[in-house]
Structure 1
Amino acid sequence: MAQGIFFFVVGPSGAGKDSLIEGARAHLEEAGRYVFARRTITRSAGAPGEDHHGVTEAQFRALVNAGEFLITWEAHGLSYGLSIDLLTALSNGRNVIANGSRKMIRELAGLVPRLIVVEVTASVDVLAARILARGRETALQARARVMRQVEPLPVDIETIRVSNDGALEQGISRFIHALANATERLRLRRVPLSTGLERVAYLPMHSAFLSAADYLGSSKVDLLAEGKSLSVQIHGMDAAALLASDEIGLSEEAFAHWGVAEGAEIALRRTPSPASRQALMQKVQGQELGEAEYEMLLRDIIEGRYTDGEISAFLVSATRSLSDAEVVALAKVRTRFTPVMHWDRPIVVDKHSMGGVPGSRITLLVVPIVAAHGMAMPKTSSRAITSAAGTADAMESVARVDLTAEQVQRCVEQAGACIAWNGRLNHSAVDDVMNAITRPLGIDSNRWSVASILSKKLTAGSTHVVVDLPYGPRTKLKTQAQARELGDLFERVGAGLGLTVVAFATDGSRPIGRGIGPALEVRDVRAVLANDPQAPRDLRDKAIFFAGQILAWDPAVGSVEVGRQLAEKLLTNGQANAAFERIIDAQGRKVPVLPGPLTYSVRASVEGWVSELDGWRIGEIARRAGAPADKSAGIDLMVGQGDQVQEGQCLYLIHGANAADLDSASVLARMSNGVTITPLL
């Protein structure tokens, strides 16, 4: 025999829980399917209110000691208890309805076979009016009582909501209807219809158990069975041959994905939960949300319970109004959707750059410098989205980067560090959903980005993080003031997360290094590590600056100045170069990708001096040549900003391995090559 459901009724004072329960008793108790729990309370049995078993405090304690209660709680100076006998009713297949306290939900969920919370609600004005009608409180007291903060309902426990802000008969009808929907089960059937990526369930239009029309629309519904849930879009079906009146059908793809046996009993739950939808609406209206609300919202968004339009509205609002506390809350919540790496070290360091500067591959220098000193740096990096190379793209030209968490652990043990792709490590399911909407709409938010970035540092197990914030005409941050403001936010939010974060505004007005594209950038890195006199000085200097900041976190180093001196020493004596080779071996050495054999020379049209290098345009040309997918493709800069050039002198070489891509890049360069030359007077 299937066990019954425990309906735990909660709601604020004045919501009318007792009235709804008594109204339902009159309609349902005689049939014998429901048991209406009679609470034991430490007040006299003749007191106004619900029908209860009144006892003294001493009698209540004696019942507790005798094990007579399933649960007990304290409220308003009274003790409440529900009988242990209710478990027997549940085991006999009867459903229990009990008036309770929301603070006991979690405990009760662990004691009964299936718990459904019934939240009875009403507007603030209705609640206050009902409390006033009792004649026990003033208008001010009643208002204060209904406005007080209440503990949010657990997001992982099935909840149904009943509005009771109208006539009592209407509220009772809603309450009974909610109970019926929860108790009537449908049998699962596989429907021979294909819906592609969309997960669809079908309800018979003339069901004897529920109204299919109640579930149609854009909102999704959760199916519950065998401890599993599946979020689906509901469609109606009027075909008795395919779907009986007591069945629910699943499309071929949804059935295969869920893995629940055909014929299983299915329960339906509307999604998102009322509490989740209320949180979303509050954010859309610009209100501040807390950690629990963001966890509930992001989980529903990831699991497909909101439409793209609803997510877009939420994101647009979130880009406009996120407090520091909300950024901290978002970062904490995001870590719960990604595995966290743990390290048995007091200091684990990391570096992040907001990017936008072509050729600035300083991470491939900072990591081996830090590793050469003996500090742990499990660096996880992204691939390029709009640039000619990301850190992972560049590293992949010499080593494997698609590492598992276990392989990262091994690399750090062997080499002190790694430079891995974050796609297999702290890849964010939240970003998958959000980016699919934000990128086409052009939605961007520095505050949202800070939460995303620092959550990934937390999941990587970092304790100390340095942040590079380039600013310039073509970067994300246009001015030094914007970069400094964002740096302050990084540091404040980092402190709120228990991280040590320092951020620096850096000049992003021009490319750094000579190479732009994976193989060419690694060539520059190797030149710096090998102390080649022709190595790009700007790349070396910036790497030493950031490595010095990180090394200063070692108590044995003590200061940033000493840290910089140490970083330069580790480069000069070859220890950083040796550390880089150890990291490559630990990750899995590959035959190095060399710059593409096909080249096109972009030359100066006039004599003069280089007044501007447009890194964004030059990077675009590198991408047209095939970077970063073609790791040999890119641009080799032959001049720097401020250099004097002759007419016909080579400004840069475009490298590639595909003639068609190279031709396309050369056409783009002839239209506008990204190098501004001011003629000599």
Structure 2
Amino acid sequence: MESGTFFLVVGPSGAGKDSLIDGARQRLSAQARHVFARRTITRPTAAPGEDHEGVTRAEFDRREAAGDFLVTWQAHGLCYGLPVSLRTVLEAGQHVVANVSRSVVAQLSRCLARLVVIEVTAAPELLAKRIAARGREREEETQLRLVRRGEPIPASVRSLGVDNDAGVAEGIDRFVEAIESFRGWATIRCLELRSGGDPVVHFSSIDAGRQPPAWRGGEQVELSADGSRGISRVWARVHVGGAGAALAAGEIGLSRETFEALGAAQGSQVAVRAIPAPRSHALLVRKIRGEALNEAQYRRLLRDIVEGRYADRELTAFLVAATQNLSDAEVLSLARVRTSLAHCLTWDERIVVDKHSMGGVPGSRITPIVVSLVAAHGLAMPKTSSRAITSAAGTADVMEVVARVDLTVEEVQRCVAEARACIAWNGRLNHSVLDDAMNAVTRPLGLDSTRWSVASILSKKKAAGATHVIVDLPCGPYAKLRTEHAALELAALFEATGAGIGLHVRALVTDGSRPIGRGIGPALELRDVLCVLDNRADAPCDLRDKALRFAGQILAWDPAVGSAEKGRAVAQALLQSGAARRAFARIVEAQGAHDAPVRPSTLTHVVRAEHDGVVNGIDGWTLAGIARLAGAPVDKGSGIDLLCQVGDAVGAGDPLYRIHAATPDSLAACVALVQGAHPDGEPAKAIEIAAQWPQAQAVRGARSAAASTWINEGNRA
């Protein structure tokens, strides 16, 4: 007989867990498939609240010593326990629903094979209202409950969220739907069939007729399998019969694409969950029509999206509409909702700082320098960073040249305890289904999603436990933000949205008209970083100056520093003394240093000036494209080494930049692109050289004046 599933119900005080459990008990008990656990609590049985068994502390201790409890925990001065007899219920094939503390989820996951966490949530203001209505806590106790953040659900545990922010009846509907969506467990078998990229799962027509439930063709399901790094999930469409005819009882067949996406071994057991129809469809339609939604409406809509209840075409239409029509109030609503949907880290720190850059400027790898300076000063900086998507390197790619970046939450916390900072890949820590979907839509179509990004970025920073965030907004002809007006407008939106979710945000508009530093590509950019940290005479001055500027702004948040000017002076002293270099070494060691850092590739080609003149423009996007063609960021030793700067006088044949390539073929492709022999046609002209010195001076002066304006306005923003 197939064993039952243990549903652990968790959620903050005031979320309404007891009401939902009581409602589900009335609806599901008649089916005799669900058992609702009765807790033992050191509180009188007649006390208001849930139906429980009240015992004295002495009796509770006696039972615990006798092994009568499956699990016990303490909360709010009381002891709680679940009877060990629930194991027998599970073995008999019945499902168990129990209200537990999230502190025991990890413990139960180690002793129960089939376990699902249902996390009940609600908006903070609604939680406060419900707690006050109970009348059991004083006002100060209520506030403590509201600010208390529980432990995140372990990555190795299946979980599902239920919003209980509407009426009781609707909340019960959602809760029961969540329980019944888990349809059992099955053994997977790869059928070696291709489905054209659309994930497909095949059910036998015989198995599909089992009661409950019956599967219908076209229905969407979620398959989840246990993996070495947590639960892997894939959504797929149901096919009944046909290729599934050869399946044995309890087996499901996966197309080759579905099998590879799930990443589980042949014959593995997976949980099968039906994806219910979205309840927020009317809201999605309203947004597609251009209407504004409020926070509660976005909460319902985004919950359905992250649970996979929408088809790709519906999601695409919504995301396109969101890029074209998103008010400031909606950005704030999205940021609040996304924060509430995330598992938030907590730190025993007065100030926790973070940094983000809108990017678009090759090089400009100031983050490792800034993090080292901040850590050397003593502030906590758990920096989460991205890998490159369209550029030649992301901060995580650069850090990965010397250390591990795929850190778990626990490893991030350890690194901060040991080194005061880390530089970790955000894909493992705060991965977003919403952002994956948005990127898949906006990048191929070239849509501007910067306003959506404000909500995404700040909600992730809030979820990571940051209290203070600095944002770099590079502006220039080759940057993502082309105009001064767009950059200043976005800076104001960042700061206002940050304040709305309880963050101190400082957004600075910076010069994005040219690359910063010399290296473009992971190993080459790290070389520049180390040159700055080692105080070498040949360190890129622009990279050093920008890093000191941002570090100074961050250190100004320390009351003992107080101003950006003093912060920069403190940062400069930490750099010159070697304290920042030592801090970087501690961070690398804490994250896990590689035995041998990656070096820039020795397979090179130097691109030279075709005529005498002055460098008056460097196209960073073209250089980044050449670096990617050379192999970056996948090959960390590939990239571009800039050998000139804007304003340099060059002669015919003088070196402009050096290409470092992964393979002879990639080097040949780069050379062909630069020389115009590439299939794309025109030569890739990354360096603009003016033949006349006065002309070059005029262009350079105009660009410098514009850059100065952006920087000054950014300081006042």
The equivalent of 1:285 in structure 2 is 289
Determine the C-alpha separation between the residues in 1 that align with 2:659 and 2:285.
51
Within the candidate set 520, 527, 533, 1:529 is matched to 533
Q: Equivalent residue of 2:585, what SS?
A: helix
The Cα shift of 1:258 comes to 7.3
Residue 514 of structure 1 aligns with an amino acid whose one-letter code is R
Q: Equivalent residue of 1:528, what SS?
A: helix
The Cα shift of 1:207 comes to 8.1
Determine the C-alpha separation between the residues in 2 that align with 1:188 and 1:562.
61
The Cα shift of 1:306 comes to 1.5
The Cα shift of 1:571 comes to 1.1
The equivalent of 1:672 in structure 2 is 684
Within the candidate set 633, 638, 646, 1:641 is matched to 646
Contact 2:382 2:416 in 1 (8 A): yes
Within the candidate set 566, 569, 576, 2:570 is matched to 566
The Cα shift of 1:326 comes to 2.4
State the Cα deviation string for residues 391-442 of structure 1 (Å, max 9, x = none): 1111111222121111111111111111111122122233234333443344
Pair 1:480 & 2:480 matched: no
Determine the C-alpha separation between the residues in 2 that align with 1:187 and 1:572.
62
- After superposition, residues 480-629 of structure 1 pair within 5 angstroms as 480-590=484-594, 591-629=596-634
State the Cα deviation string for residues 345-377 of structure 1 (Å, max 9, x = none): 011000100011111000011000111100000
- After superposition, residues 38-77 of structure 1 pair within 5 angstroms as none
Pair 1:333 & 2:343 matched: no
- After superposition, residues 641-660 of structure 1 pair within 5 angstroms as 641-660=646-665
Determine the C-alpha separation between the residues in 2 that align with 1:401 and 1:488.
32
432-441 vs 313-322, which deviates more?
432-441
Call closer, same or farther: CA 1:220–1:547 in 2, change over 3 Å. Answer: same
Contact 2:615 2:687 in 1 (8 A): yes
Contact 1:205 1:236 in 2 (8 A): no
Determine the C-alpha separation between the residues in 1 that align with 2:380 and 2:441.
36
Determine the C-alpha separation between the residues in 2 that align with 1:369 and 1:555.
17
Call closer, same or farther: CA 1:306–1:642 in 2, change over 3 Å. Answer: same
Contact 1:637 1:651 in 2 (8 A): yes
The equivalent of 1:156 in structure 2 is 174
Unpaired runs of 5+ residues, structure 1, are 1-32, 35-64, 71-106, 108-148, 161-181, 224-228, 261-265
Residue 452 of structure 1 aligns with an amino acid whose one-letter code is S
The Cα shift of 1:381 comes to 0.5
Contact 2:275 2:307 in 1 (8 A): no
The Cα shift of 1:447 comes to 1.5
Within the candidate set 447, 453, 456, 2:457 is matched to 453
The Cα shift of 1:332 comes to 3.1
Determine the C-alpha separation between the residues in 1 that align with 2:243 and 2:575.
75
Q: Equivalent residue of 2:174, what SS?
A: coil
Q: Equivalent residue of 1:468, what SS?
A: strand
Call closer, same or farther: CA 1:452–1:605 in 2, change over 3 Å. Answer: same
Determine the C-alpha separation between the residues in 2 that align with 1:392 and 1:221.
33
Residue 623 of structure 2 aligns with an amino acid whose one-letter code is I
The equivalent of 1:378 in structure 2 is 382
- After superposition, residues 96-135 of structure 1 pair within 5 angstroms as none
The Cα shift of 1:666 comes to 1.7
The equivalent of 1:114 in structure 2 is none
Determine the C-alpha separation between the residues in 2 that align with 1:327 and 1:151.
29
The Cα shift of 1:233 comes to 3.6
Q: Equivalent residue of 1:156, what SS?
A: helix
Contact 1:349 1:550 in 2 (8 A): yes
Q: Equivalent residue of 2:622, what SS?
A: helix
Residue 597 of structure 1 aligns with an amino acid whose one-letter code is T
Call closer, same or farther: CA 1:210–1:287 in 2, change over 3 Å. Answer: farther
Q: Equivalent residue of 2:570, what SS?
A: helix
Contact 2:382 2:423 in 1 (8 A): yes
Determine the C-alpha separation between the residues in 2 that align with 1:510 and 1:373.
30
Determine the C-alpha separation between the residues in 2 that align with 1:398 and 1:230.
33
Call closer, same or farther: CA 1:269–1:289 in 2, change over 3 Å. Answer: farther
Determine the C-alpha separation between the residues in 1 that align with 2:190 and 2:656.
60
Call closer, same or farther: CA 1:284–1:530 in 2, change over 3 Å. Answer: same
Q: Give TM-score, length-normalised by structure 2.
A: 0.63
Pair 1:392 & 2:396 matched: yes
Call closer, same or farther: CA 1:427–1:680 in 2, change over 3 Å. Answer: same
The Cα shift of 1:216 comes to 6.0
Q: Equivalent residue of 1:606, what SS?
A: coil
State the Cα deviation string for residues 124-164 of structure 1 (Å, max 9, x = none): xxxxxxxxxxxxxxxxxxxxxxxxx989933733469xxxx
The equivalent of 2:313 in structure 1 is 309
The equivalent of 2:428 in structure 1 is 424
Residue 556 of structure 2 aligns with an amino acid whose one-letter code is A
Report sequence identity in percent: 53
Contact 1:467 1:503 in 2 (8 A): yes
Determine the C-alpha separation between the residues in 1 that align with 2:200 and 2:431.
23
Determine the C-alpha separation between the residues in 2 that align with 1:408 and 1:519.
23
Bigger-Rg structure (1/2)? 1
Determine the C-alpha separation between the residues in 2 that align with 1:634 and 1:472.
22
Unpaired runs of 5+ residues, structure 2, are 1-29, 32-45, 52-98, 100-165, 224-232, 676-682, 694-717
Determine the C-alpha separation between the residues in 1 that align with 2:660 and 2:326.
44
Call closer, same or farther: CA 1:284–1:598 in 2, change over 3 Å. Answer: same
Call closer, same or farther: CA 1:298–1:655 in 2, change over 3 Å. Answer: same
Call closer, same or farther: CA 1:269–1:303 in 2, change over 3 Å. Answer: closer
- After superposition, residues 336-415 of structure 1 pair within 5 angstroms as 336=340, 338-415=342-419
State the Cα deviation string for residues 269-303 of structure 1 (Å, max 9, x = none): 88323x32122112212222233433333333333
Determine the C-alpha separation between the residues in 1 that align with 2:551 and 2:395.
16
Call closer, same or farther: CA 1:251–1:336 in 2, change over 3 Å. Answer: farther
Superposed CA RMSD in Å reads 3.9
Count matched residues.
505
